[in-house]
Structure 1
Amino acid sequence: MHVLRRWWHDTAGGLPATFWYLWAGILINRAGAFAMLFLSLYLTTARGASEALAGAVVGAYGAGGAVGVLLGGVLADRWGRRATLLVAHLATVGLMVALALSEHLAVIAVLSALVGVVHSMPGPAFVAAIVDLVPESRRSRAFNLQFWAFNLGMAVASLLAGVLAEASFLALFLVDAGATLVTALVIAAKVPETLRRGTPGPAPTAGGSRRPGLHTALTDRIFLTFVALTFVLAVLTMQTSTIMPLAMRTDGLGPSAYGLVVALGGALIVMGQLFVPRLIDRHRKDRVLAASTGLMAIGFGALTVADGLGVYLAAAAVWTVGSMLAAPPNAQINADLAPPELRARYQSVFYLTFPAASFVAPTLGGVSLQYLGSVHWLIVGGLGLLAAVGHLLAGPPRERRVAALRGAAASRERVGVR
């Protein structure tokens, strides 16, 4: 019993109550956010759209997501975290209901793009609120729990979506809207505004600039180096949903085999993610990220010799462990590098890596797989190993930047007290 209590304290102890309401909101939101997973199927089956048109509409949703990430970051720093979360979730409810009832493809395309915007807006605000609330010493466990909630919610969403889609597409959209409304109600009732306004003294930006805003994040070289390394990790991760299914088909493996590989990754995260903080907290973040990216590189590189389901499953176990180790330090470094007054904007730039990777991975990966065959996986593995080395090289200057930001924050607090 003592060991169990100790594990629970190391995993989830010492976090404020408001964090848990945010965590519950993330879990409910992701568990109910399944309608857009079936958007292309809905368009082709229920609305008679061609595959090309369905792809264009899904692309509009993705483009809206890129806009929403930046918009959410700016608004979370200007309006506040709570206001941005409420506006995004309530707008999502209305748009999802409208999408469920719309019949014209042109209207559905516009609504899909708008849903993409409001679906992506909460991301920077959620993370910025967590950073506002949670002391630095406990952020690793907070981000670990956030990653776990996100993946647990996605696993639940995948199960529910299939059942609802078989029964009714209308129900699919309406239940999604209902879950989003529940999240909005939880935030409205239990989550206060976490953005502290009126910080004493002008805060210096990370790059020494006096132009606060997205410009600061987009010209911060140390931060952008970190974003670039995260982009590589995102490209590796996207292989599982874009290129790997094609490779498995070439190897004579069907959709059920692909489902087993994806299910294994989800099961490992749900069962094992809560044990990660105790494993990594004693180690430097750059070394953890180097190790995690290296594991992902080895896992994907192993597909070069894949000729059966067993190799795919073993490789998936390796790269999933890598992604599990990467989640907490990735989020924590992003939080550490952001000046307090620009937290959400920095988050929005960081979040852009994922829509960018979702475009680059299938676009270049499809060409690579077609013309290079299994050599594609050697290239992916090599890219991951280069990123692992990059983390080791980028770690020391990154830590110096973080120390400078902490010193500046402490000085401003002392001035404020006087």
Structure 2
Amino acid sequence: MNPTASRASGRPIKLGLRANAAQFTLLVAVNALVGGMLGQERTVLPLLGEREFELTAYTAGLSFILVFGIAKAATNYFAGTWSDRFGRKPVLVAGWLVAVPVPLLLIWAPSWGWVIFANVLLGISQGLTWSTTVVMKIDLVGPARRGLAMGFNEAAGYAAVAVTALATGYLAEAYGLRPAPFLLGLAFAALGLGLSALVVRETRDHARFEAANHVARADGRHDHLHSELRDREVFRQTSFSEPALSSASQAGLVNNLNDGLAWGLFPILFATAGLSVGKIGILAALYPAVWGVGQLFTGALSDRWGRKWMIVAGMWLQAFALAVIALVDHFGGWAVAAVLLGAGTALVYPTLLASIGDVAHPTWRARSVGVYRLWRDGGFAAGALLAGVVADLVDVRAAVWTVAALTALSGLIVAVRMYETLHRPART
């Protein structure tokens, strides 16, 4: 493949991490700010619903995650289509514009309805911003380092979730649940909007260049997935028909189903054991911290070892960690389980995205990523609904056991149905 072509502006297009290091690093920083917007809620919002708005039913308390998941999942789908049609950068900037009111709504909310509306906006913003940074990094690095690129992307996002969850826990303990924790989110939104509008560059031409120089697999596996697919066909292939794409989509859904459980019910479970808000913040941060940092290694390893069995191992490790959380009732045990849950998620998260990039043709890859993220982030809504209903009917630990079983089953589906998507061209 010729690694370089010319844009209309005269600037050369080069694929690869080293050739695009400055823009890639900038996008990593932008996605860290995206993660920080999510992290502002992880420790504080479940406690806010219970203590300030006096929500007693678990299903009602998890309603903010339900609407967040629905909004983000739907927006993910459109983000892929819009980024192909209008370009990546306009979609990214639009996502940050939607994010700006969120911290203010959470600070001023006189009722839970305001919190629900804020999370609809947060879901739309996350769908636009996070999806677009994923696509832009895949555009820049080309086919050789997708796992590494997704590792950096997801590591930045979820490390920021962890740091912000920890920071907001301490702020809430020192200054109260509002407004101090959400002032961080306001700063993140302003900085993210400024960087995206003024410094980030469009990457759609990189995808077009890769498509023009695309080399089919020698084994002929993807020959039926030709470059010109309609939106409906992209949805069908990614969701149901293509074994690797659809296996990744269901695994992504279940992965975020258990993340929705962790987000909404873990702080309440820990509080029932008498833990302070500060300790709850530590536990809320441990899981995404290990998840985030671990992806710096797991994404790159999937470029060497392959995708399939890392995904299987990650799903089964998550299931085991959830079982431990359901069994123990003290800080130390929960801390160990949180580390295991983060490690399992780190094995899965960038690897699933890399597998989508392996299979989807560059001309419809952004749409396929959008469909995958539609299913994956639909897991937030499914997790909130399932966990809330089971917790209301039985108890919180029963909800954790239910999600653990579904996570183990998802890993089994990948083991049986998915093929290895990492293709190493034969040397000549």
TM-score by length of 1: 0.75
Q: Percent identity?
A: 21
SS at match of 1:349: helix
- Structure 1 residue 394 corresponds to structure 2 residue 421: no
Alignment partner, residue 385 of structure 1: 408
Cα distance 1:342–1:156, how it changes in 2: closer, same or farther (>3 A)?
A: same
Amino acid at match of 2:236: L
Does 1 or 2 have the higher relative contact order (CA < 8 Å, sep 6+)? 2
Question: Relative to total residues, which structure has the larger helix share, 1 or 2?
Answer: 1
Cα distance 1:273–1:114, how it changes in 2: closer, same or farther (>3 A)?
A: closer
Cα distance 1:189–1:249, how it changes in 2: closer, same or farther (>3 A)?
A: closer
Q: Distance in 2 between matches of 1:133 and 1:323?
A: 25
RMSD: 4.2
Query: How many pairs align?
Result: 388
Which sections of structure 2, spanning at least 5 residues, go unmatched?
1-16, 217-221
Amino acid at match of 1:264: L
Amino acid at match of 1:254: L
Cα distance 1:190–1:36, how it changes in 2: closer, same or farther (>3 A)?
A: same
Deviation track 1:38-63 (CA, whole Å, cap 9, x = no partner) reads 56777899xx8674998766754544
Deviation track 1:236-259 (CA, whole Å, cap 9, x = no partner) reads 333323444565567x45355644
Deviation track 1:60-118 (CA, whole Å, cap 9, x = no partner) reads 4544333322232221111111111122213433x348747977867886565344323
Q: Which of 308, 321, 325 is the aligned partner of 2:343? A: 321
Alignment partner, residue 413 of structure 1: none
2:62 and 2:384 in contact (8 A); partners too: no
Q: How many Å apart are 1:363 and its aligned residue?
A: 2.9
Alignment partner, residue 262 of structure 2: 240
Alignment partner, residue 353 of structure 2: 331
1:356-367 alignment, distance < 5 Å = 356-367=378-389
Amino acid at match of 2:321: G
- Structure 1 residue 254 corresponds to structure 2 residue 259: no
Alignment partner, residue 68 of structure 1: 75
Cα distance 1:291–1:193, how it changes in 2: closer, same or farther (>3 A)?
A: same
Q: Distance in 1 between matches of 2:47 and 2:348?
A: 33
Cα distance 1:97–1:389, how it changes in 2: closer, same or farther (>3 A)?
A: closer
Q: Which of 71, 90, 111 is the aligned partner of 1:83? A: 90
Deviation track 1:383-414 (CA, whole Å, cap 9, x = no partner) reads 33332232222332x63xx769x99xxxxxxx
1:296 and 1:322 in contact (8 A); partners too: yes
- Structure 1 residue 288 corresponds to structure 2 residue 306: no
Which sections of structure 1, spanning at least 5 residues, go unmatched?
1-11, 408-418
2:75 and 2:374 in contact (8 A); partners too: no
Amino acid at match of 2:418: G
1:116-131 alignment, distance < 5 Å = 116-131=123-138
Alignment partner, residue 4 of structure 2: none
1:128 and 1:347 in contact (8 A); partners too: yes
Q: Distance in 2 between matches of 1:226 and 1:287?
A: 12
Q: Distance in 1 between matches of 2:48 and 2:86?
A: 35
Alignment partner, residue 183 of structure 1: 192
- Who wins on radius of gyration, i.e. which is larger? 1
TM-score by length of 2: 0.73
1:234 and 1:353 in contact (8 A); partners too: no
Amino acid at match of 2:144: S
SS at match of 2:305: coil
